[in-house]
Chain A
Amino acid sequence: MLAYANPQRFMELSHRVLPWLCGATAVLFAVGLYLSVTVPPDYQQGETVRIMFVHVPAAWVAMMAYGFMALASLIGLVNRHPLADVAAKEAAPLGALFTAMALITGSLWGRPMWGTYWVWDGRLTSFLLLFFLYLGYIALWNAIENEVRAARAAAVLALIGAVNLPIIEFSVQWWTTLHQGESIFRSGGPLISAVFLWPLFIMAVAYTLLFFTLLIVRIRTEILERRTRSAALGSSS
């Protein structure tokens, strides 16, 4: 894995992989969207089940992106690897975007189901906190001018967040059961039946591929920008 982590090798490899990744993402999105709007409505949730096909994949990518960011941060800190730092940095805005999408679609699902756009439900609340974790990480990156220092500080923050996430999740879960009876909201969410698993699964894979496609392009952008900057520095001095 780390053998490919040399920026030059990464540029060559990603150049070859990208067209396939773009194609696969587009095809999966087309199939997933078609299935999402054509499956019969759920007998319990009715048509609102269709919101799940855009909500659950966004939520999944939002969490996965944080895991990826923490892992890349760890590699960046331990192995002092610039590519891992860049990967963590570029994953954060994408993670924040998917978290925001999960929150908005979640509350649009909640309105007909719960009768209100926002309840302090365990999952919604921990996603709100996850969103703030992303914002803090991005803000820290932007605030420190020295690139190496920014990368290390942000990596430490990402790891603190990763250690804290299970505690946050647990405390929020505990808190919601304290303040509202289980009878109003089922904490596990309604069970989903088999016909919906296919569109859900395909959309989840499509979202995941989209995340990695965008991530790779963003990393390529950052590498190109750094080259430009160092070339400008080299010619001016």
Chain B
Amino acid sequence: MRAAAALLARDLRIATRAGGSAVLALAFFAAVVTLLPFGIGSDPKLLARVAGGVIWVAAVLANLLGLDRLFQADYEDGNLDLLALSPLGFEGIAAAKIVAHWLITGLPLTVIAPLLALLLNLPPSAYPALLLSLLIGTPAVSALGSAAAALTLSIRRGGLLLPLLLLPLLAPVVIFGAGAVLAQVDRVENGAIWFLAAISAVTILLSPFVTAAALRLNLSD
């Protein structure tokens, strides 16, 4: 447990340094959302309807941004081999990395999402759903992302491959995440948030083991 906390603390320290990946992901997130009205026009009604979907898609893209570096720095300088020998084991490393990735990207994205929703004219009644869906859904994005990042560990330009691997796998999260927000815009009950919670729970529970398997196959021969 202590080892996991130390790993977590170190990753957070690196990411929050000036110019670290945490700030960059946030800036990217804001930039994508800002770009949208230039593409589809500024009609407030239209923006209100697409706000949830746009914020969700932008959040997923921002999550992919630094994902290839999740294990790569530790892999290249040999830290990963040392970590594997620690009592943490691969599962522990994977879990700590997933938590770190979420704290660095998922949580800040969730916090500033209402601000961007304001720009997109999201009705006030939908804000709780937006926050809740991001809070529940982004950990699943980090969890699936870490598994894919571990799979592409030994590929030099793995970052280019990640979006292709993750796009079909993340579709359900986007569908239910944006669906939960849209339900509040349209004032209907569609149960999306429960499906999102179920998918998220299963993904988070399984991901450390899948990620650990992927790390193992990249380190052993």
Contacts and interface: CB of A to CB of B under 8 A. Distances in A.
Direct contact of A and B (CB under 8 A): yes
A152 B216 CA distance: 10
B168 A143 contact: no
B151 interface: yes
Give chain B's interface secondary structure class: helix
Contact of B169 (A144, A153, A160): A160
B158 interface: yes
Contacts of A156: 147, 151, 210, 213-214, 217
B165 interface: yes
User: Which of A133, A140, A161 counts the most chain B CB atoms within 10 A?
Assistant: A140
B147 A167 contact: no
A161 B167 CA distance: 11
B3 interface: no
B199 interface: yes
Contact of B161 (A129, A133, A140, A149): A140
B179 interface: yes
Contact of A161 (B164, B168, B182, B213): B168
A135 B161 CA distance: 10
Contacts of B221: 146, 148-149
B175 interface: yes
Interface in B61-106: none
Given A140-B165, A178-B190, A171 B171 contact: yes
A174 interface: yes
Interface string A116-143: 0000000000000110110110011001
A170 B199 CA distance: 11
Contacts of A143: 152, 155, 158, 161
Interface residues of A, number: 29
Nearest to A177: B190
Interface centre among B169, B214, B218 (most CB of A within 10 A): B169
A168 interface: yes
A21 to B, nearest CB: 32
A157 interface: yes
A153 B214 contact: yes
Contacts, number: 84
B124 to A, nearest CB: 22
A6 interface: no
A62 interface: no
Contact of A174 (B148, B152, B167, B195): B195
A175 B217 contact: no
Interface residues of A, dominant DSSP: helix
B67 to A, nearest CB: 14
A164 interface: yes
A55 to B, nearest CB: 21
A149 B218 contact: yes
Contact of B179 (A129, A146, A175): A175
Contacts of A152: 217
A133 B152 contact: no
A178 B176 CA distance: 11
Given A133-B168, A160-B169, A167-B199, A140 B151 contact: yes
B128 interface: no
A209 interface: no
Contacts of A148: 221
B152 A172 contact: no
Interface centre among A130, A139, A149 (most CB of B within 10 A): A149
B151 A168 contact: no
Interface string B34-78: 000000000000000000000000000000000000000000000
Pairs of residues from A and B, 6 with the lowest C-beta to C-beta distance, nearest first: A171-B172, A152-B217, A129-B168, A136-B165, A132-B168, A171-B175
18 contacts: A129-B168, A132-B164, A132-B167, A135-B164, A140-B152, A143-B161, A144-B154, A146-B154, A148-B221, A157-B165, A171-B175, A171-B176, A172-B171, A172-B175, A174-B192, A174-B195, A175-B175, A178-B179
